[in-house]
Structure formats: C-alpha cells, structure tokens
Amino acid sequence: MNYSVGQKIKGRITGIQPYGAFVALDNQTQGLIHISECKSGIVRDLKGELIVGKEVNVIVMDIEQYTGKISLSLRQDEIMALNRHVLPKNHNLKKRFWTNYHLDFGFESIERKQADWIKEALERIGK
C-alpha cells in the first residue's frame, strides 16, 4: 500500500524501544513513532504509555525518500482533535509536516557548493 505525508492510518504496535515504538501499518510496512511524537508533554518511559499489540491511530509525518522509512505520530492526531473543539467549524486548519522532498541533498550538491563554502570561510578569517 502507498502512504502519503499527512495520511491518518490505523496500525498495531509491534515493538517498544527506549527511543520510540514500531507500528505495523500492513503486512509488509512498518513505521516508527519517535518518543517525542507519542504524546504532548514529557514521556520518560514508553512502556507505561503504549502496549505491544494495541491498535492505534497514527498520522504519517514523513516518508524518507531514499530508504522509505516512515515516521509516525500519535501526538499530531491528539493536537488536531483538540483544535477541532477550540477552532470554529469554518476555520481552515492547515497541517504542517516536514519533508525533505524539496531540498537538494546528496553528495553531488555538497560537491557543487564546497568551493563557495571554502571561499566564504577564507574571507571570514581574512585570507
């Protein structure tokens, strides 16, 4: 199945680590909920918050372009639900998710910019 940033999906927690929880989205696809995206506020131990085998509603935060790793969030769904109660019904709630698709990353782009960076650094130190 194809997933997209901002999509709300049901998944099942398959594993819990100190840094986050793994969620099975379908038979072949897993994503990670980072500890900072589990709930609003400070989370010190995920084992007290989440249970392996529990079904959860998550939002796709990012899909890494090269590796296909999927970043998920429980917290964003919670925030959007709160906003629906606070904001007027006709308010256009804009979702903002970070993605790197528009950026030109990679070794080739670093190589292209390296000469400019060296020139700028030498100018700063006065050479």
Domain boundaries, the chain: 8-125
- Helical ranges in 3-106 per DSSP H: 75-86
pTM: 0.61
Write down the CATH number for the domain with range 8-125: 2.40.50.140
| Residue position matching structure tokens 């249970």 | 51
pLDDT band at 55 (very low <50, low <70, confident <90, very high): very high
- What's residue 106's pLDDT? 56
Mean pLDDT of 6-12: 90
Split at pLDDT 50, 70, 90, the class of 102 is low
How confident is the model at residue 89, as a pLDDT?
59
- Contacts by 26-31, CB closer than 8 A, 24 or more apart: 26/1, 29/1, 29/3, 29/70, 30/70, 31/58, 31/60, 31/69, 31/70, 31/71, 31/72
